[in-house]
Amino acid sequence: MNKKGAVFHWILFGVIASIGLYFLLVVNLDLGTETKGVWQLSFVRATLDAEKDLLFIDQNARSAVGLAVQGLSKEELANDFGCGIYKKNYPFWNKENGFCELQADESIKNKINDYVISETGITYDQVFFSEGYLIGKSSKKKVITSSWDAIPLELKNTGLFSSYESYVLKPFYLNYFYNPNFKVKVGSFFGQGYIKVRNQAEVLVNTCMNSKDLKSCLDKNKMGSWGYEFCGADNYEEQDRKVPFCVQVNENNKFQLALDFSPALPFSPEDLIVTFDSVTNVTAIEFIPVSGIESYNFYYTDWLAVKSSNSFPNTASEVFTAKPNFNYQKIFSFKTNGNCPEVKELNKAYLCSDKVVYQFKDEEISETVFTVTSVQDGKESLVEGFVGLS
């Protein structure tokens, strides 16, 4: 080897030795257990803190609901159930298709947003109610992050450090993003007092809606804390089966409300009497009408066994389902007329005093049974039973 080759050889050896010495002095090649799981633990800690923050947001959202409702005026509460108002001060809590819920969305949303923002500093794009939940949605995400300035320049032993910076080894950097949306079950806006009164109201409506003597049913079934129109009063008032109430929940809390006791089906007419004049061959029917109803269906059949069956009350279609094919069944409909002339035309219904009177001819009538139902808004009352000729 000449001198030039030797110099090149020793220079190359020196470079390799220098690089090796640098790694030995600078880079920690210890693969022991103390460095394992640093980033995994950092992620877990970030997730845990994010969950704590979301729990804090949920708690503030629940509190905001109560504060928002307390801030609503009586006028807002009185007008926003969505079922209408009785006598200006009595919101209907129900209507034909069920009970109503508070509809003061805008008033409550604005107040809730104010309360949540003041506590969390987050502005929510949407705050709304859905199926008993209060839901808040924000397009802006929150982040848990380490500071560039705090990133350590030197290696640190692993352990339960108090800050994320302690887990971050240069040149790495922690950014954990999460959405601060919330969804909390809020139940009733009015708390347990409202829930209790609401349950009592539902029981009262279901119990008395099909009772013809509404007041007697209410007197028998309403709770002692329920007063007619005014708390502690017996000022019964009814209009089209709609009744105002005042319910005293406690010394400082009461509810004014109105309930609609309209029956699911029209009531059936009462005291049907059918007579037949063999000289004129005219059949006459009379019965006590149902208040507020003008349309009726009249059925008659030679299927005599139906009179003693146990299928009442029931719909007309169900009653006649078992009728033998060889028996006939006839029906005609009519509306009542307000006048009551001395000479009455056939096939016309008249309201005479407190009874509906109707006359018709049918030569087949002999051994026959009869019934009548009322019809309102496309709904027919139940068949209560059949009568024969008087």
Could you give the C-alpha distances from 379 to 149, 219, 287, 296, 321, in angstroms and in order? 77, 28, 20, 11, 19
Q: Give CA–CA dist 32/20, Å, rounded.
A: 21
pLDDT digits (tens, 9 = 90+) for 14-34: 767 677 666 555 555 554 444
How far is Cα of residue 306 from the mean position of the Cα atoms in its chain?
A: 42
The secondary structure of 89-109 as a DSSP string is TEEBSEETTEE-----HHHHH
Highest-pLDDT range among 2-16, 64-78, 239-253 = 239-253
What average pLDDT does the segment 253-282 reach? 90
User: What pLDDT band is residue 100 in, cutting at 50, 70 and 90?
Assistant: confident
Confidence of residue 36 (pLDDT cuts 50, 70, 90): low
What are the boundaries of each domain within the chain?
36-85+102-185, 191-260, 270-380
pLDDT band at 8 (very low <50, low <70, confident <90, very high): low
Between 37 and 362, name the one with better pLDDT.
Answer: 362
Q: What is the pLDDT of residues 319-340, one digit of tens each?
A: 998 899 888 889 989 888 778 8
For residues 376-389, average pLDDT:
91
Res 69 pLDDT > 80: no
- For residue 380, name the pLDDT band (cuts at 50, 70, 90): very high
Chain centroid to Cα 312, Å, comes to 34
pTM of the model: 0.55
The pLDDT value given to residue 338 = 74
52 pLDDT tier (thresholds 50, 70, 90):
confident
**Predicted local distance difference test score (pLDDT) of residue 235:** 87
Mean per-residue pLDDT for 67-79? 57
Cα separation, 154 vs 160, whole angstroms: 17
In the structure encoding, which two tokens stand for residue 254, read together?
């009461």
Q: What is the pLDDT of residue 153?
A: 45
Q: Which of 336, 335, 331 is nearest to 372 (CA)?
A: 331
245, 247, 246, 242: which is closest to 260 by C-alpha? 242
Mean pLDDT within 244-272: 87
The amino acid that residue 195 corresponds to is I
Tokens of 55: 């729990």
CA–CA separation, 314 vs 181, rounded Å? 52
Distance, CA of 108 to CA of 128 (rounded, Å): 9
Question: Identity (one letter) of the amino acid at 323?
Answer: K
Sorted by sequence, the CB contacts under 8 Å of residue 290 that are 6+ apart come out as 266, 267, 268, 269, 374, 381
In angstroms, rounded to a whole number, what is the distance separating the alpha carbons of residues 76 and 73? 5
Range among 97-106, 233-242, 245-254 rated most confident: 233-242
Answer yes or no: is pLDDT of 3 > 80. no
Tokens of 239: 């209009």
| Side-chain-side CA neighbours of residue 26 (13 Å) | 7
Burial of 388 (0-12, 13-18, 19+ CB in 10 A): exposed
Would you state the pLDDT for residue 107?
Answer: 64
